[in-house]
Every structure is written in structure tokens, then in C-alpha cells.
Structure 1
């Protein structure tokens, strides 16, 4: 009886934890130009099919093709299920910098389409990253 109770506790604890699922895709580069900073831009990160409770993680790169450094000054999200990890240091002209987009599928079911807005210093419009997933 005691062993059965321990096994049940272990299974419940394992079921409550999230599992990070890296999304394997070819290297994706978003090119930042003066036009993108002035007018905004967008890209979609497709996480594919996730099981409820999994956290999809995808990496993409920003390449600065402007003549000045570019800095991410803030990020807003359409929900708490998405996050963006990035280095706050300026991306110098010609430099490429990785960012990591995460989507936590806990509590989500079916087709999901979420938004993450990145605001760059001196930019008039945000750069929109969309996170898409099918949660079963």
C-alpha cells in the first residue's frame, strides 16, 4: 500500500511538470533594415504539433543591416504562454544575434496563434513574431 502511494505521487508529480521540446528547423534569419524599423515587420514561428504541457522552443537570428546599432527596448505578449529570451546588448551593424521564442502549451488546446511584439529603439512600429502551434 505504501509503495502504491509513493508511485501515485511520483506519477502525479511527473504529469505536472512541463517538458521542453526544441523545434528543429533550418537556421532562420530575420533581416533588420531601415524599412523594417520604420514600418514594422513580422515573422511566424511554427511549433507544429505539441502535447498539452509541452513547451516548444525555437531559435531565430536577427541580422542588423542598418548603418547603426539596433536595440530591443521592450517586448509585449498577447498571453503569458509565450516568452522571448534575448540579449539586451545592441546588435551592431552587420552583426547577427540569436533570440529564443518559447510557447508553453499548458492549458491550451487546439490551434493556437499568439503574438510577441518587439520594440526596437527609434522604431516607429513593432516587429511582430507570431507563435503557431497545434496542441493536442
Structure 2
């Protein structure tokens, strides 16, 4: 079972990556498969950084653990609304028996409190100001490999961020339901994009920017958009959820609202039933 699971993990992670990334991902899977995660002996969990709560997860058959470091945009990394959606889905399948363990190493505690309040995130979180959790485990530096599915012995049985990659999400759900979760696999097709990069140039910070990326189904099967993620909360994407017929096109409307002045580069990641998935689209500009 362990060998089979490792193969499945590799397949789900590798099938959407460039050749240059495959060796790194394979190495990470090998390094972390079966590795025991250690937890600090005195972790304080709170609700939105205020109310301390007695949070125990030691006896759970499975647990999902996420560490977020202090590098870069905190709001972009947290993606709390997406975590809430995933948590609701897991709770529905597992009758609320799978705890989610969040360790956030904040660069600004006040900002982190604000974000959890803004996103109405009322699940226990450890604000790990001294970064003790990472000191014990030395997690990978890439955000996508700082989430884990653990068994009762706190050993890793899956690695990857389920809110950023639908294939990893499916892998987690399959494992949590002992393979009873129906697979979302669909027939593959081909897709073309009008452009992968859009530069808005220089514009006033107060002005909302919008662009429509056009995806055209070049294959013989339906094109299915499985998920779309963004690298920052200031970037929103809207699109039709209907499958796209061969020869037809789909518009991804990307809206950017600058939270601060300066140059920016933001990524939109599109997961779909193509060999090139995920598609990575970029927007750039200078808000003044």
C-alpha cells in the first residue's frame, strides 16, 4: 500500500510540472514519505489571535497540517477562504473527525490577526512567532510543499497543498476515504491561450485593471477547467464553469486591484484536462 501510495503521489504531483521540476518533486516525495512530523511541546492555539483554546489532535486517525512561513505576501500565502472550503468538504466526508493543524510564523502579528478576522477564519491557529515548528522539522522552502496529510503516528502519507492543486486535493480525499472518493479523471484535450502574459503598464493605484485571457479547446474532447488559483488576494478570476466544446473558447476575466503602490507580477494558475496543465498566466504592471 505504501509503495502504491508513493506512486500515486508522484503521479499527481509530476503530471502537472515542467521537466526541470520533476527531479526536485520526486526528491521531496522520497524525503518526506513516512517521515514523522514533530510538534512543539508548548504550542498555544488561538481564535484570530485573541481567545486561547484547548486544541488537541493527538488521537486523530488522520490530520492535515499546514505551516506558513513569514516570507512574502502573508495574505497571498494563507488563502484562508479556500482552506475553509476544503475543510468543509473534508468535514462532510469524514464527519468532522479530521483535524486541521495550522502553524503560522508571522512577520507581523497584527496583520495576521487582521487577515483572520477579515476572512472570518474561526478555526484554531498557532501564531508561531519563534518559528519553533519549522525549527523542529526543517520544512521545504516552497509554499506548495509545506502542507501534509499525517496518520495517527504523525507520519507523512501525502505532501502538497490541497488548496493550490486539485490533483493533490483529490489525493488527500482518496486517502481519507480509503479510495472510496470517485476519481475526477476526464479525457484529455489540447488548449491554446491568446497570450500567457499581460502587462497593464503604469496606472493610478485607485484604478481597477481587467483583462480577458481566451482559452480555446484545440482537441477532440471537452475542455474542463478544474480549478483556478491566484498568487494574491488582490487578483480575482471569473469564468464559466461549463465544459468547453472542441473548437470553442472560454474567457477568464482577471481583475486586479492594487493594495499598494509599485511594480507587481502576479500569477494565475489554471488546472484543466490537458497535458500542459497547469497553465500559468501572468499579469504585470506599475500602480502609482
Q: TM-score, normalised by structure 1?
A: 0.64
Residues 1-136 of structure 1 aligned to structure 2 (within 5 Å): 34=190, 43-105=196-258, 107-121=259-273, 123=275, 125-136=277-288
Q: How far has the Cα of 1:53 moved from its partner? A: 2.1
| 1:40-74 residue CA offsets vs partner (Å, 9 max, x unmatched) | xx711221212112210112321110111111111
| 1:80-100 residue CA offsets vs partner (Å, 9 max, x unmatched) | 011111001001101122221
Q: Give the greater-gyration-radius structure (CA).
A: 2
Residue matched to 2:90: none
CA distance in 2, matches of 1:115, 1:108: 17
Q: How far has the Cα of 1:122 moved from its partner? A: 5.7
* Structure 1 residue runs of 4 or more that deviate by more than 2 Å after TM superposition: 121-125
CA distance in 1, matches of 2:196, 2:274: 20
Between 63-72 and 123-132, report the one with greater CA deviation: 123-132
CA distance in 2, matches of 1:131, 1:83: 12
Give the structure with the larger helix fraction.
2
Give the structure with the larger strand fraction.
1
CA contact (8 A) 2:270 2:277 kept: no
CA distance in 1, matches of 2:212, 2:277: 23
How many residue pairs were aligned?
A: 98
Q: How far has the Cα of 1:77 moved from its partner? A: 1.0
CA distance in 1, matches of 2:274, 2:212: 25
Q: TM-score, normalised by structure 2?
A: 0.32
Q: How far has the Cα of 1:76 moved from its partner? A: 1.1
CA distance in 2, matches of 1:130, 1:98: 15
Higher relative contact order (CA 8 A, sep 6+): 1
